Amino acid sequence: MSGDVILEAEGLVKHYPIRAGVLRHTVGHVKAVDGVSFQLFRGETLGIVGESGCGKSTLGRLLMRLEEPTAGTLHFNGVDMYAQQGAAMRRLRRDIQIVFQDPYTSLNPRKTVGDIIGEPFEIHPDAVPKGGRRRRVQELLDLVGLNPEHINRYPHQFSGGQRQRIGIARGVALNPKVLICDEPVSALDVSVQAQVVNLLEKLQDELGLAYVFIAHDLSVVRHISDRVGVMYLGSMVEIGDEEQIYSRPTHPYTQALLSAVPVPDPTLRGTRKQIKLTGDVPSPANPPSGCRFHTRCFKAQEKCTTDIPLLLDRPDGVTAHDSACHFAEPLSVVA
Amino acid sequence: MSTPLRTDRLETAAAATRWQAQDGLLLAVEDLQVEFRTREGVAKAINGVSFDLHEGETLAILGESGSGKSVTAQAVMGILDSPPGFITGGEVRYCGENLLTMKDEQRRLVRGPEISMVFQDALSSLNPVFPVGWQIGEMFRKHRGMNRSDAQEQAIRLMERVQIPGARQRVKAYPHQFSGGMRQRIMIAMAIALDPAVLIADEPTTALDVTVQAQIMDLLKELQEERRMGLILITHDLGVVADVADKIAVMYAGRIVEHADVYDLYGRPAHPYSKGLLESIPRLDQKGSQLAAIGGLPPNLMRIPAGCSFNPRCRYAQDVCRVDPPALREVGHHRRSACHFAEDVLAGTARTTRTAVDGELVVDPAASDPAATTAPDGSRTPDARTPEQGGAA
């Protein structure tokens, strides 16, 4: 999966101001994303996992430039995304598209499926000539496994899984290079989830897409990802290829997270190593000093409360991958 | 604990003590039928569901949305919205007495003190304008006739029991001041307040993160063992079920299609739907290739397919499945399956009749497509289509 970098984020930061009082003074910041760097290679899937509030969705929006960053740079194919304006930015947007989590609210209920999937062509009229658009929309419907004859139906006439397919068709309408999937299957039923995951994999093979796959379901992420990044409180704590993260995680948070995921096999009951985290995720408005995880970490020592551990290549027993822990040590928690 | 009683509550308390499980059997649901009468038509949400629950036992009811698992819980609890929901048949016996024919006042003595429930969404289940301690204490005030300060003491004791840090300081805090996991603990505290014999947990951890989910499931398990409660766990998560359940009832389109001990079900499923579900989920401990998805969609409950309701999605379906609804029958020790070919599925010798189904998608015929009334799209198979990449510039 090595090769050319298509998307490169460096030190991405997004702080949201907290305002209070009559004059709306800024009294603090919610540090949603606080210094995230990674590379995405052409045609690969990078999974981003973390608990709610860790900033993974904000990261997705930053990658789309749906949010302006507080700091940091983002390069798409070597072009600085945040420096682009107007027409140049619009052209760039064609190459990075997004699929949202909720198939019920992300489709306009008053528009037909044809209008929804065809809207990208209204914004980018040179993508497909006007006369060919309807046919192209039908091709897209067919591509995502929906009946092309349903082009005039409305979103409410489809089930959740079918709606997510519509969202995906809209996402790939402009032939993007990168598709950001923000929890694309978490709102779907188990038996339908597999269909959509398979569809995403099929599209990747056929269209050569690179995915940033944001999800909280670690099993789905393992299935679909080539590489995985783990986020905690706005920063990336560990990133590596799927094997490294799942078989040889070195960050205590990754280990705890993995050990908490139930495995659908009753014969493993009681045999799996369980790392119990106590308490809840601290507020991102006031993250702990030093290592952000030290308040819940089972390895925390004096040093962790003062020194911020850097995301560095650390040995995992077989190879080495990036981990942000002073006491990084491989520990297999997945049976 | 000294329970001060008002005179008008005495009768209540006396009635509450008479429940006695027979041979450990707490709850017996028999041939339960529920339908929803709406303007669009009648949706048959539950079509003959039967199960038993014993002391200290965990029964998981597993199913997708619309399978009837939550409606079953509501019917047992007696909190079904009616209208549009109507119980059209069956019995729900608690310690031998049919709850469905009971008077409302009597039913109230069961609901809460005997059978209680934890809901999925703690934020919308708690009242935002009352402190949590007041809401937990309400159980004691209403059912035990306690005064406010005693009820509050009990609330603090319960909050401590469900491991809410600083319970005494936070008893007057409001629901929004707690995190999701803590709110779910408060819900659990309310549910166990009166020491019920049966606890129904409806997707108790679905809205929570995995690390918190593990904490909550541990707490539920611990409380169950401590109090010998019968626990009904309603969920769609095959992972959670594998960790805690003793028995599993798999529901599909308002019926139990398979009922088995947890080890049997995961080891060797006896119904094509449970088999399909187990094969379709990605696993944390394995990096598989393609997922074996179940094709099609769960059926619309207003138009449940004739014969076996799973037949349009089933890879083993034969002619008999399209005509003859299979009964839930004994297929081995402690296990039942509603499939004509259960023995073959168990033995792994069932004949695959439709290879297209276990690929990725089969757009289903009318029965399962809510939009298909105007234009049923027939049975299109993936191999019949040629996916095109299209020529956008």
pLDDT tens-digit profile of B199-214?
999 988 887 888 888 8
- Residues 108-167 (A) with a CB less than 8 A from some CB of B: 126-128, 136, 139-140, 142-143, 145-147, 149-150, 153, 157-159, 161-162
In this complex, the residue of A150, A191, A256 whose CB is nearest that of residue B277 is: A191
Mean pLDDT value across residues B46-67:
91
Return mean pLDDT, chain B.
Answer: 82
The answer to whether B312 and B321 have CB atoms below 8 angstroms apart is: no
In CATH, the architecture of A5-95+176-323 is 3-Layer(aba) Sandwich (3.40)
pLDDT band at B23 (very low <50, low <70, confident <90, very high): confident
State residue A283's pLDDT score.
85
Residue B50, H or E segment = strand B41-54
**Per residue in B269-297, pLDDT tens?**
999 999 999 988 888 887 767 788 888 88
- Which of A149, A260, A274 shows the shortest C-beta gap to B375? A149
State pLDDT tens for residues B305-362.
999 999 998 989 889 999 999 999 999 888 999 999 999 998 888 888 876 443 344 4
Bridge partners, residue B27, by sequence: B53, B94
Q: Per the CB < 8 Å rule, is A145 touching B363?
A: yes
The C-alpha of A120 sits at a distance from chain B's nearest C-alpha, in angstroms, of 11
**Region B211-226 average pLDDT:** 88
Q: What is the pLDDT along chain A (335 residues), one digit of tens a residue?
A: 446 899 999 999 999 998 888 888 888 888 999 999 999 999 999 999 998 888 988 999 999 999 999 999 999 998 999 999 988 998 899 999 999 888 888 899 999 999 999 999 999 988 888 888 999 999 999 999 889 999 999 998 888 888 999 999 999 999 999 999 999 988 888 888 888 899 999 999 999 999 999 998 899 999 999 999 999 999 999 999 999 999 999 999 999 999 988 888 888 887 888 888 877 788 888 889 999 999 999 998 999 999 999 999 999 889 999 999 999 999 888 76
For residue B84, say if its preceding peptide bond is cis, omega within 30 degrees of 0: yes
CB of A221 closer than 8 Å to CB of A49 = yes
Of B65, B242, B282, the CB nearest to A262: B242
Q: Smallest CA–CA separation between A246 and chain B, in Å?
A: 8
Chain B positions touching A334 (Cβ under 8 A) are: 284-285
Q: What is the pLDDT of residue A175?
A: 92
pLDDT of B354 reads: 75
Nearest CA of chain A to the CA of B63: how many Å? 9
Give the range among A79-88, B175-184, B375-384 with minimum mean pLDDT: B375-384
Most A CBs within 10 Å, among B163, B209, B235, B358, to test the A interface: B209
Global confidence as pTM: 0.83
Q: Name the closest residue on chain A to residue B377, using Cα atoms.
A: A147
Q: Is B289 on the interface with A (CB under 8 A)?
A: no
Per-residue pLDDT for B372 more than 60? no
Selecting from A127, A149, A195 the residue whose C-beta is nearest the C-beta of B360 gives A195
For residue B283, list chain A residues with Cβ-Cβ distance below 8 A.
219, 263-265
The answer to whether the Cβ–Cβ distance between A128 and B266 falls below 8 Å is no
Q: Read off the tokens for A37.
A: 């760097």
The count of other CB atoms within 10 Å of the CB of residue A202 is 17
Are A51 and B210 inside 8 Å of each other by CB? Answer: yes
Reading the block at residue B318, the tokens are 């034969």
Contact (CB<8Å) B298/A191: yes
Whether omega before B83 lies within 30 degrees of 0, making that bond cis, reads yes
Q: Where are the domains of chain B?
A: 7-245, 269-282+290-384
Q: Tell me which residue in A193, A269, A276 faces B214 most closely, judged by beta carbons.
A: A276
A106 is written with which tokens? 């992300």
- Distance to chain B for A14, nearest Cα, Å: 23
Partner-chain residue, chosen from B65, B282, B292, that has the shortest CB–CB distance to A222: B282
Please state the rounded mean pLDDT for residues B363-385: 37
Query: With 0-12 CB in 10 A as exposed, 13-18 as middle and 19+ as buried, what is A8?
Result: middle
CB contact under 8 Å between A147 and B363, yes or no, is: yes
- Top residue of A57, A134, A147 to mutate, by most chain B CBs within 10 Å, is A147
Window B:341-380, CB contacts with A under 8 Å: 360-361, 363, 370-371, 375, 377, 380
Q: Where are the domains of chain A?
A: 5-95+176-323
Q: How far apart are the first and last CA of chain B?
A: 77
Three-class secondary structure assignment of chain A: CCCCEEEEEEEEEEEEEEEECCCCEEEEEEEEEEEEEEEEECCCEEEEECCCCCCHHHHHHHHHCCCCCCEEEEEECCEEHHHCCHHHHHHHHCCEEEECCCCCCCCCCCCCHHHHHHHHHHHCCCCCCHHHHHHHHHHHHHHCCCCHHHHHCCHHHCCHHHHHHHHHHHHHCCCCCEEEEECCCCCCCHHHHHHHHHHHHHHHHHHCCEEEEECCCHHHHHHHCCEEEEEECCEEEEEEEHHHHHHCCCCHHHHHHHHHCCCCCHHHCCCCCCCCCCCCCCCCCCCCCCCCCCCCCCCCCHHHHHCCCCCEEEECCCCEEEECCCCCCCCCCCC
Residues B158-171: what's their mean pLDDT?
89
Q: Which positions in chain B touch A126 (Cβ < 8 Å)?
A: 393
**In a 3-state reduction of DSSP, which class is residue B81?**
coil
Kindly report the nearest CA distance between residue A211 and chain B, in angstroms.
17
What kind of architecture, by CATH, is found in domain B7-245? Answer: 3-Layer(aba) Sandwich (3.40)
Q: What is the mean pLDDT of residues B385-391?
A: 33
Is B294 near chain A, with CB under 8 Å?
Answer: yes
Query: Cβ of A263 under 8 Å from any chain B Cβ?
Result: yes
For B361, the closest of A127, A136, A145 (CB atoms) is A145
Contact A62, A69 (CB under 8 A): yes
Q: Which two tokens stand for residue B294?
A: 């179940």
Contact B371 A157 (CB under 8 A): yes
Which residues are registered as beta bridge partners of A8?
Answer: A39, A75
Lowest mean pLDDT among A46-50, A186-190, B53-57, B91-95: A186-190
Separation between Cα atoms, residue B76 and residue B71, nearest integer Å: 9
CB within 8 Å: A258 and B291: no
Share of chain B above pLDDT 90, in %: 42
Whether the predicted pLDDT of B374 surpasses 60: no
For the record, the structure tokens of B328 come out as 């839930």
Q: Is the pLDDT of residue B224 over 50?
A: yes
Sign, Cα dihedral of A186, A149, A106, A67: positive
Question: How many angstroms from the chain centroid is the CA of residue B128?
Answer: 26
Whole-angstrom distance, CA of residue A321 vs CA of residue A333: 17
Hey, is the C-beta of B303 within 8 angstroms of any chain A C-beta? no
Question: Nearest residue of B to residue A197 by CA position?
Answer: B291
Question: Inter-chain contact A264–B64, Cβ cutoff 8 Å?
Answer: no
Average pLDDT over residues B168-182: 89
Please list the residues that pair with B234 across neighbouring strands. B61, B202
Q: What is the ipTM of this complex?
A: 0.81
The predicted pLDDT at position B361 comes to: 41
Q: Do A263 and B285 touch (CB under 8 A)?
A: yes
B285 touches chain A (CB under 8 A): yes
The whole-angstrom distance between B141's CA and the closest CA on chain A is 31
